[in-house]
Each structure stands twice: as structure tokens, then as C-alpha cells.
Chains A and B, each alone.
Chain A
Amino acid sequence: MSSEIFVWPFNLGLYFILIYSVVRSTVWFRNLSRPDKLRLQRGFFGIPFMQSIKEIFMESLLHRRIFKKNFVLGYMHMSLAFGWFLLIVFGTIEADFFGEKHLNPPSHAIFFRAFNPDHGAVGLARAYTHLMDFLLAFILSGLLLAVIKRFIPSMMGMKKTTKHTWSDRTALLSLWLIFPSRLLAESFTCGTYGSGGFLTGNLGAALASFLPAAEIAPWFWWLYSLALGTFFFLLPVTRYFHIPIELLLIFMRNSGITTGDKSSSYTEVQTHACSSCGVCIGVCQMSYAAGINDIQSAYFIKGLRSDRDIAAITANCLMCGRCEEACPVGIELGPMRLIERRQGERPDTAKRFLERYSLTGRRSTIERESTQSYGYLVREEAESADVLFFAGCMTHLTPSVISAMKKIMESAGVRYRFMDEQGGVCCGRPLMLAGRDREARELINHNSDIIWKSGARILVTSCPICYKIFRESYYLEARVMHHSEFINLLIEEGSLRLGYLHRKVVYHDPCELGRGSGIYEEPRAVISYVAELQAVPEEGTMSLCCGGSLGNLTLSSGKRALIAADAARSLTMSSPDELITACPLCKKTFGQATGTRVSDIAELVAAALPKPVKKSRGRPARVTTKSLNHG
């Protein structure tokens, strides 16, 4: 081929995207907080670096997590990512090895066949040509699956795929065009010169037999170059920007950077690392149980990226955390949504426009004004106690849980004080979930004051919602325990004598306790101790939300009921005698959604207490003395 002009669309695109990525990464790095900068620097010259390289290979190229989820979907991603990667690597080697000079520009490797049309006739070069053909066929097989997936998602095990913006569509089209145009360009060239491997050689020979291959070939080389160039130019404004940015995200995450509670470079990087793959849509209960299909994390992130007003999307989420568990990229979706909820109104359009097209691209908002104030709360004189029991607002709506806890603690001889027996103050978590951190802080201070003054060493709560905020946002000396953990401790210490109930039960992990706080084992240990625990379809990290979540301010009660009914159906599939949960809110929600008896774990344990319950006040508090040593 005499003229080399056709490589320029590719060259321009490649240099543009390289420069853009470097500049953007530099700006992000500059905007990181000082500790995060240090983390990243340290992570770059240590063990985290090797971990990142391994993770990039396993996830960004092989797509192991998607493979685990669905083989065909995994194969599709792997063939496109790993296949393209190998094609570039082997293409570069080929150009370097067989080309006329070493250290060629990238275009020589990409358009190798155009510059060396008669290459690969004999020996090693011929075998190598077959290898390159095999890689191209490998990618094309993945591309075929991708095309099928776009039109028939269910064939790839996906309930839904994301809806695309126009820029995404154009980029997708150019991405789809890249490999077929390469195939045809190589085939026509090979057909003209009688070279090529098993794919391009045979196809080329067949095409050249009835078409003027020599005249057509340049057109497809142009198409190939244009498709690549267009793809590179569109990359920063489309979802495909995740390809370079995910690498950065993996380095940052392995260096120990976390989302935190403020918008930062890291949230920006996470926003761009989302590939809009749609896995979050498939696992969202609001999608498949309640038919709400426009608020899922993929759309949330997409809204962030294109700087739209997404207040409605942000608010309408149960915050159950299933999408975060399922996300193949590992984006911290829950914290990101909370950050967005904390924001007040958006600045005016002109300012946003400037910010959007500046290099930092930081999404800015006006700080939210305080709407609530609790100056009316009176600080009480707290009684001292070793164990403090905080039932929580929701537990007051399920008095049976409170009386069960009282029975259990009395039976075990625990000296406790009931902190909110006369009705306490909310823990602050609901406010925090609504993005009102400043107001929540007032309640946190009030409750902390009571807990500190009581001198308690253990704080037991019956509500996972309170449990999570006690552990994460309160500064306490007391060890915070959910009642399932506390009962487990009592059993392990031998303070609690229990019978065995001949009941088949299933356990539902409450979102805030399981995914929210990582407590999976203790409740199961307690239940297995007193009854027969059966497995349910989706449990542990992928357990279902009951639908009653306080994380959602706007979801209507009708939609909540749909989610509850669907979750209850899945949980009671094995027709257990009882559905056990560890959250008063889940208990209330499931109670209306299923005919199966719904009990709290405390009620189950209380039923297994030997009757009649021995009043044992005044016995030494064995639990406190022992547990303190390792608390």
C-alpha cells in the first residue's frame, strides 16, 4: 500500500485518548486528599502494586467475577477484552519481529497486514499468521454474543440491559465495526496477494474469486481506521471510558483508598469506572419485584457522569446493598448514593456547564441546609449499668421482641438497664440515610451522652439499623452488640440454658446486619442451637431486602408490599414452620406479606428457654466479667 494517510484517524484518536487519560489522571491525583495521595504513592511501590496487577489480569482482562455469574456473559467480556489485548500484544511482536525496522509506531502493528500484504507465506511467519487469525476469530465470537445480548438480553442470563445515550450508541457502533472491518480488510488484502491464515486467507480467496479485491481492500482499511479513531475520540464521554479508568480504580482501591463521606477524586474515578454492564439492574428487587426500572445504580452513575439532576433517582433506593455486592467492578454504590443524598440543590446551569467541561469535571452542589433541630431534647441523668439495652424505635412496635429479650437476659442473669424503656431518642440512622447528617449528629450526641454516663461496657441493641450507626458513627467505649451476637455470647459462655425446639426454620439476613455490618454467622449459630435451620435460595451476602427499608424516602407502600411479597415467597419456598429474622422492621414487613409465622431471633430463643422461667435477679453477672476481657 503506497499511501499511509488512512492510518491518521486511528493515530489522532490514539494520541488524543492517551493525552486525555494522562491529563485527567493527573488532575484526579492532584485533587486527592493528602492522606489518600500518600496511600496511593505507598501502594504504587509495594505489595498492593502486585495485587493490582493480578486483579487487573483477573478482572479487567479475564473478567473472573462475570464468569462466576454467568459463563456466556463472562466469555463475551473475556473474548473482547483479553482477545483484543492479546491481538495488540502479539500484533506488536509481529510488527517488531517481521517488520522492516524495530520500535515501530503503534499503527504499524495495528495495520500490519496493510503494510506487509504478502507476509506469512512459509514457516514460522505462517504459523504466526494462523495465531493472529485465531485471536481475531476469538474476538469475533465474543462480538457475535455481544450483538445477540444487545437484542435478546435473556439469552445471556440478563434480565435487563442498560438503556444507552446517543454517544454510547455511536461508540458501540464503532466498537462493533472495528473487528469485522479488520477481518474484511485483511481478507481482501490477503485475497489479492494469496497470503493469510486459516480465516483471512480462505475468506480472502473466496471473496477475491468474484470481487475486485485489490480495489475494495483500501476502503475497509479506511473503515477500520475510522472505527478505531471514532471509538477513541468518543471514549471520554461514553461508558467505554471504564476501560482505562478501571485500571486506575483498581490501583486506588488496593492502595487502601475508600469512598468516605464526601465527594472526591475517588468518587469521580468510580463514576467513570462503571461500565453500565447492567448487573445491578438484574439483582435490584425494585426492578424485578416492583417494576421500577429507571433508578438502578447503573442509571444513578450515568446521571452523575452526565451531570443531570438525579435527586429523584438518588432518593428512590432501598439502600439494601445487593447491587454493591454484585457489582463486577467493585464500585461502592451505597456510600456514593449517600454522598449524593447529602448534597443540597444544584448550582445554576452556567456554572455547572463550565464545571462539566473543565478538566476536573467535579460535580458541585450547594450545601444542604439543616431542616431539623432537636434543641428540645433534655439530657437525662443516666443510671450506671454494665449492660445497656437499647431496643430502638422499631423494636417498640414489636413488644414481643422486647419481652423476649427481657426474659433471655433475666434467665442468663445479666444485670442490664433498659435505656429506652420509656421511649428513647432515635439513633440517627434514618436521618443519615435521608442525607441529613448534621441533624443526625445531634441525636448521636444525645444518645452518646447517655451511654457514656451509664458507664456500660456492653451496649446491646435489637435493631440492626441502630446497630450499624452505633458501630460506625458513635464514638463509644462500650462494645456494641446486636442481640443475636449477645445471645450467641451468652450461649457460648454457658450462661443461657436452652432446650431444643423441633421446628424447621429459615433465616432472613436483614440488610443492615448482614451486608451492612457483616454479621452472618452469629445469628445462624444461635438458630442452629435451638432449632433446625434450613437453607434459602438467596442468603448471606445476596440476601433479599424485606422492602420496608428506611433507606427509601419516596417508595410507596404498595410497591413496598410487592417487594415484601416477592422476598417472602422466595424465603418460604421450602415451607418452613417459621421465618426468623433479626430486625423488627423486617418482622413487621414480612408479617403482612406471608402466611408463615414470622419471629425475631430473640423470640425463638425465648421459646426455647426452660419453663417456668427462673427469676434470678441478684446473681453475679457472669457475662459481663468474662466478655470484657476480649471486648
Chain B
Amino acid sequence: MSVRQANRFGFGINQSRQINYDTSDRKVRDYVTLREPSFRLCFACGGCSATCTAGEHISFNLRRMITLIRRGEIDLLRDEVTRCMLCGKCMLVCPRGVNTRNVVAMTAEAIRKLDRNEL
């Protein structure tokens, strides 16, 4: 049964959200990793998100952002990356020494280039 058919019967079924790592868009991830190698070190502890200044005002989550970059979910990333204030608290709490501010800056740059077909 397709999603549309299911909806007609009053059931809300979410679209399948399986990520195929073989076919996902790696351009942004590669761009960020090349320019900020410490991006690889993140083990998703979430310390950055717990301390985030922007996260106190809106749902912004660096840990999720990094996951989105790795999965290549560019559409979700596009909005997310604009919310960071670059204040640098995440950088100080990061136990792995990830240069988080540059990760955000590079992601923003990568998406801008992607939108202009330069990547």
C-alpha cells in the first residue's frame, strides 16, 4: 500500500527515512572534512548542543547538524546552518577538540556553493 493510499484511509504513515550511505550526497561532507579535518573526530556526544546559545531560542542542534552533513541531507541542513551565532561555546566544551565554529562556517560555504552549482 502506498503512502497516499494509506492517508486516504485516515492513517498517517511517514515517508520512509532510510538513509542509503552509498547514494547519499557527500559533497558537503567532503568539502567540510577537507577544510576542517577535525570534523571527523566528532563522536556525537551532544555537549555542543547542550551548551548552545542559539539552541536556547530555537531548535538548533549542532549534533544533529553534523549527522545531517554525514547523511547528506542537504535540504534539512540548509535552514539549520543559518541559525548558529558562531559564539564558540561548543568549541570550548567539545571533548574531542572539534573546531565546531569552522565546521559551521564551512558548511554554510559549501551549501552556498552547492546552490550555485560550484561544488
Count of A residues near B, CB < 8 Å?
32
**B33 at interface, CB cutoff 8 A:** no
CB-CB < 8 A to A372: which residues of B?
81-86, 108
**B58 at interface, CB cutoff 8 A:** yes
> Within B67-88, which residues are at the interface with A (CB < 8 Å)?
81-88
CB-CB < 8 A to A124: which residues of B?
none
CB-CB < 8 A to B84: which residues of A?
372
Given contacts A377-B57, A397-B92, A426-B53, contact A556 B97 (CB under 8 A): yes
- In whole angstroms, what is the CA distance A393 to B84 when docked? 13
**A342 at interface, CB cutoff 8 A:** no
CB-CB < 8 A to B85: which residues of A?
372, 374, 425-426, 430-431, 443
A17 → chain B closest CB, angstroms: 42
> Within B20-53, which residues are at the interface with A (CB < 8 Å)?
36, 38, 51, 53
> Within A355-401, which residues are at the interface with B (CB < 8 Å)?
369, 371-374, 376-378, 393-394, 396-397
CB-CB < 8 A to A393: which residues of B?
53, 87-89
- In whole angstroms, what is the CA distance A259 to B91 when docked? 31
Whether A585 pairs with B92 at a CB distance below 8 angstroms is yes
CB-CB < 8 A to B99: which residues of A?
553-557
Given contacts A430-B87, A431-B86, A557-B99, contact A376 B58 (CB under 8 A): yes
**A423 at interface, CB cutoff 8 A:** yes
Given contacts A372-B83, A422-B56, contact A397 B89 (CB under 8 A): yes
CB-CB < 8 A to B112: which residues of A?
369, 371
CB-CB < 8 A to B102: which residues of A?
553-554
- In whole angstroms, what is the CA distance A557 to B88 when docked? 13
CB-CB < 8 A to B105: which residues of A?
371, 434, 553
B92 → chain A closest CB, angstroms: 6
**A558 at interface, CB cutoff 8 A:** yes
CB-CB < 8 A to A555: which residues of B?
99
**A588 at interface, CB cutoff 8 A:** yes
Question: Hey, what's the 0/1 contact readout for A403-434 against B, CB within 8 Å counting as 1?
Answer: 00000000000000000001111100011001
**A88 at interface, CB cutoff 8 A:** no
Residue of B nearest to A375 (CB): B82
Whether A553 pairs with B51 at a CB distance below 8 angstroms is no
Whether B88 pairs with A394 at a CB distance below 8 angstroms is yes
CB-CB < 8 A to B38: which residues of A?
556-557
Tier of interface size on chain B: 20 to 34
Given contacts A372-B85, A397-B51, contact A425 B108 (CB under 8 A): no
Whether B87 pairs with A371 at a CB distance below 8 angstroms is no
Among A373, A396, A554, contact of B89 (Cβ-Cβ < 8 Å): A396
CB-CB < 8 A to B109: which residues of A?
371
B60 → chain A closest CB, angstroms: 9
CB-CB < 8 A to B94: which residues of A?
557
- In whole angstroms, what is the CA distance A431 to B51 when docked? 18
CB-CB < 8 A to B89: which residues of A?
393-394, 396-397
A418 → chain B closest CB, angstroms: 15
**B101 at interface, CB cutoff 8 A:** yes
B54 → chain A closest CB, angstroms: 8
Whether A430 pairs with B88 at a CB distance below 8 angstroms is yes
**A550 at interface, CB cutoff 8 A:** yes
Whether B83 pairs with A394 at a CB distance below 8 angstroms is no
CB-CB < 8 A to B54: which residues of A?
374, 426
B81 → chain A closest CB, angstroms: 7
- In whole angstroms, what is the CA distance A426 to B84 when docked? 10
- In whole angstroms, what is the CA distance A369 to B87 when docked? 20
Whether A434 pairs with B86 at a CB distance below 8 angstroms is yes
**A272 at interface, CB cutoff 8 A:** no
CB-CB < 8 A to B51: which residues of A?
396-397
Given contacts A371-B81, A422-B56, contact A394 B92 (CB under 8 A): yes
CB-CB < 8 A to B56: which residues of A?
422-423
Residue of A nearest to B58 (CB): A376
B98 → chain A closest CB, angstroms: 8
Residue of A nearest to B109 (CB): A371
Residue of A nearest to B105 (CB): A553
Given contacts A394-B88, A396-B89, contact A374 B83 (CB under 8 A): yes
- In whole angstroms, what is the CA distance A427 to B85 when docked? 9
B103 → chain A closest CB, angstroms: 10
**A436 at interface, CB cutoff 8 A:** yes
> Within A426-472, which residues are at the interface with B (CB < 8 Å)?
426, 430-431, 434, 436, 443
Among A424, A425, A550, A556, contact of B88 (Cβ-Cβ < 8 Å): A550
CB-CB < 8 A to A426: which residues of B?
53-54, 85-87
B8 → chain A closest CB, angstroms: 36
CB-CB < 8 A to A553: which residues of B?
99, 101-102, 105
Residue of B nearest to A373 (CB): B82
CB-CB < 8 A to A378: which residues of B?
57
B95 → chain A closest CB, angstroms: 11
> Within A22-52, which residues are at the interface with B (CB < 8 Å)?
none
- In whole angstroms, what is the CA distance A550 to B101 when docked? 9
CB-CB < 8 A to A374: which residues of B?
54, 83, 85
- In whole angstroms, what is the CA distance A434 to B88 when docked? 11
- In whole angstroms, what is the CA distance A393 to B98 when docked? 19
A381 → chain B closest CB, angstroms: 16
- In whole angstroms, what is the CA distance A557 to B56 when docked? 26
CB-CB < 8 A to B91: which residues of A?
557
- In whole angstroms, what is the CA distance A555 to B108 when docked? 18
- In whole angstroms, what is the CA distance A397 to B102 when docked? 20
- In whole angstroms, what is the CA distance A364 to B81 when docked? 28
Question: Hey, what's the 0/1 contact readout for B101-119 against A, CB within 8 Å counting as 1?
Answer: 1100100110010000000
Residue of A nearest to B91 (CB): A557
A378 → chain B closest CB, angstroms: 7
Counting chain B CB atoms within 10 Å of each CB, the highest count among A369, A371, A548, A558 belongs to A371
Given contacts A394-B89, A422-B56, A550-B87, 6 further A-B contacts (CB under 8 A): A374-B83, A377-B57, A397-B51, A426-B85, A554-B36, A556-B99
Q: 4 nearest interchain CB pairs?
A: A557-B97, A426-B87, A371-B108, A423-B56
Chain A residues in contact with chain B, CB under 8 A?
Answer: 369, 371-374, 376-378, 393-394, 396-397, 422-426, 430-431, 434, 436, 443, 548, 550, 553-558, 585, 588
- 29 A-B residue pairs with Cβ-Cβ distance under 8 Å, sorted by A, are A369-B112, A371-B109, A372-B84, A372-B108, A376-B57, A376-B58, A376-B83, A377-B57, A393-B87, A394-B88, A394-B92, A396-B51, A430-B88, A430-B101, A431-B86, A434-B105, A443-B85, A550-B88, A553-B101, A553-B102, A554-B99, A554-B102, A556-B38, A557-B38, A557-B94, A557-B97, A557-B99, A585-B92, A588-B92
